Amino acid sequence: MRELLADLDSRELSEWWAFHRIHPLPDPWRQTARLCRTVMASSGNYKHVPEEWRFIPGQQQTKMDMLQELSKLTG
């Protein structure tokens, strides 16, 4: 990272920052949460499919909550 920042001038860094504000990189946790929710919903084995945020660590979910939700996938 230091090498990359050493090679970027402030103009180019500003361009990348502006691009990121318009087209942010995908959030891998949100993508995984959406996938988990989709798999649970399509399986038909669940009366209630948890909201996406329940699968994302640090968003009012403990590690134990996440493990419990994921264990439902394997029975």
Residue 35 has pLDDT above 90, yes or no: yes
Identity of the residue numbered 13: L
Domain that holds residue 19: 2-74
Residue 50: phi and psi, rounded to 5, are: -60, 155
- Domain total for the chain? 1
Mention every residue, 6+ apart, whose C-beta is less than 8 A from residue 63: 57
Q: pTM to 2 decimals?
A: 0.49
Q: How far is CA 37 from CA 7, 11, 22, 52, 61, in A?
A: 41, 41, 27, 6, 15
Q: What percent of the chain has pLDDT over 70?
A: 95
Residue 61 scores a pLDDT above 70: no
Average pLDDT over every residue of 49-71: 79
